[in-house]
């Protein structure tokens, strides 16, 4: 178990310098008791450009240090937390190494590309006693939490069905500008593992343990190895079923829809905004959410990531458990991995 050792500001470094890194930097700038001090990228020129742009946008802050190597980053005792914003295929190895070198880690989704690699990270966290948290920013949405509380209170009656529909659009340049995307070796999948994992995580958060899955995956619009269109049907413990649609193939791209149906009521969300609340419990009075990246990943709000940063800071300073640790982060990977197994074999896969 991690024992907190500081009540000062928590120091962060970002690993990577792409779109996700920019969102992490923005979130950290708005997080109390968090200090972004360094950036590392295997391409030093990219890291320097990231640091220069950060300083230009935040002139009142200290310049970011550009760390020269991965090993130097691990050995830098001034850095407490690493935000891993690297290609997905690097997450498991980097997270485990960082944990065993005494760093806390916040990993962009997915934690790893398969359940076995997730277990490797979990073991490193347990051995090191350090914190490993996985990004799933919708977990911090007040609307998502309101639905979870309604489930806990029995407002739905018996859960019968859940839905995730994510007909996003990504243009050709999205894959061409980052060739690791859409590859099995570095992305671990396509639309489902990269984009759809957020909705899958919420489906599991609301409905509990998945027992089996049947699926179809297709590559219909993009010249990539992995799927750009996936459909799955999931059987949950307790008898409920769920459906998953994840795609980057359609035009123009629509917002993610999340629905939960029960014998005594149902709800429907668009991204993290409640659009239908048909329960006996009063509808929560919540501000409009803003998690949309259905057409452009750069349009994703940093608000959910900020809550992740606040969650990590609280855990480092006080020992409070993080919302989404490595064990919890494994659940979505395990289901998605089983979806791919089903699509490849034509069989129903038990999880």
* HEC per residue, 264-313: CEEEEEECCEEEEEECCCCCCCCCCCCCCCCCCHHHCCCHHHHHHHHHHH
Tens digits of residue pLDDT in 22-47: 999 999 999 999 999 999 999 999 99
User: What is the per-residue DSSP string for 219-267?
Assistant: --SS--SS-SEEEEEEEETTS-EEEEEEES-SSS----EEEEEETTEEE
Q: Where are the alpha helices (DSSP H) in the chain?
A: 19-29, 44-57, 70-75, 91-100, 115-128, 142-152, 172-176, 197-207, 303-318, 326-345
Domains 10-136+303-325 and 138-294+332-350 share a fold: no
Give the pLDDT score at 283: 87
Residue in this structure with the two tokens 């009063």, named with its chain if needed: 282
Give the pLDDT score at 40: 98
**Over 80: is that where the pLDDT of 295 sits?**
no
CA dihedral 47, 324, 337, 238 (to 10 degrees): -160
Give the pLDDT score at 284: 87
Contact criterion met (CB below 8 Å) for 107 and 134: yes
The arithmetic mean of pLDDT across residues 80-88, rounded, is: 98
The arithmetic mean of pLDDT across residues 329-346, rounded, is: 98
Rounded to whole angstroms, the Cα distance separating 249 from 169 reads: 6
Q: Cβ atoms within 10 A of the Cβ of 63, count?
A: 12
Q: pTM to 2 decimals?
A: 0.94
Q: List residues bridging with 236 in a β-sheet.
A: 210
Residue in this structure with the two tokens 């609340």, named with its chain if needed: 277
Tens digits of residue pLDDT in 160-176: 999 999 999 999 999 99
Give the pLDDT score at 1: 58
Tens digits of residue pLDDT in 204-249: 999 999 999 999 999 999 999 999 999 999 999 999 999 999 999 9
Rounded to whole angstroms, the Cα distance separating 350 from 213 reads: 7
Domain 10-136+303-325 in CATH 2.40.50.100: no
Give the pLDDT score at 243: 98
CA dihedral 172, 177, 181, 183 (to 10 degrees): 90
Tens digits of residue pLDDT in 62-72: 999 999 999 99
β-bridge pairing 65-66 and 81-84: unpaired
Contact criterion met (CB below 8 Å) for 88 and 117: no
**Over 80: is that where the pLDDT of 16 sits?**
yes
Tens digits of residue pLDDT in 112-140: 999 999 999 999 999 999 999 999 999 99
pLDDT confidence of 88, banded at 50, 70, 90?
A: very high
Domain borders along the chain are 10-136+303-325, 138-294+332-350
Domain 138-294+332-350 in CATH 3.40.30.10: no
Contact criterion met (CB below 8 Å) for 230 and 215: yes
Tens digits of residue pLDDT in 237-291: 999 999 999 999 999 999 999 999 999 999 999 999 999 999 998 888 876 655 5
Q: List residues bridging with 82 in a β-sheet.
A: 13, 105
């Amino acid at each position: 178990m991690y024992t907190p050792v500081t009540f000062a500001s928590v120091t962060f470094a970002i690993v990577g310098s792409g779109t996700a890194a920019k969102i992490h930097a923005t979130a950290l700038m708005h997080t109390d008791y968090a200090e972004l001090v360094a950036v590392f990228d295997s391409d030093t020129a990219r890291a320097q450009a990231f640091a220069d742009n950060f300083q230009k946008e935040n002139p009142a802050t200290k310049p970011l240090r550009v760390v020269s190597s991965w090993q130097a980053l691990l050995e830098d005792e001034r850095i407490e937390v690493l935000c891993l914003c690297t290609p997905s295929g690097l997450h498991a190895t980097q997270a485990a190494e960082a944990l065993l070198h005494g760093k806390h880690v916040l990993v962009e989704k997915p934690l790893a590309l398969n359940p076995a690699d997730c277990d490797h990270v979990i073991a490193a966290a347990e051995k090191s006693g350090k914190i490993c948290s996985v990004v799933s920013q919708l977990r911090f949405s007040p609307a998502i939490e309101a639905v979870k509380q309604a489930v806990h209170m029995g407002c739905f009656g018996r859960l019968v069905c859940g839905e995730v529909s994510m007909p996003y659009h990504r243009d050709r340049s999205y894959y061409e500008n980052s060739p690791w995307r859409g590859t099995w070796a570095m992305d671990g999948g396509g639309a489902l593992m990269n984009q759809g994992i957020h909705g899958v995580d919420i489906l599991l958060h609301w409905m509990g343990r998945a027992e089996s899955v049947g699926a179809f995956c297709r590559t219909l619009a993009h010249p990539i190895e992995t799927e750009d269109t996936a459909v799955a049907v999931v059987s949950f413990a307790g008898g409920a079923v769920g459906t998953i649609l994840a795609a980057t193939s359609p035009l123009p791209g629509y917002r993610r829809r999340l629905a939960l149906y029960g014998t005594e009521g149902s709800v429907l969300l668009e991204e993290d905004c409640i659009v239908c609340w048909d329960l006996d419990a009063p509808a929560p009075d919540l501000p409009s959410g803003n998690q949309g990246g259905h057409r452009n990943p750069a349009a994703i709000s940093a608000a959910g990531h900020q809550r992740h940063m606040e969650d990590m800071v609280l855990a480092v300073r006080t020992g409070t458990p993080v919302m989404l640790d490595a064990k919890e982060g494994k659940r979505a990977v395990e289901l998605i991995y089983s979806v791919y197994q089903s699509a490849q074999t034509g069989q129903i896969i038990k999880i």
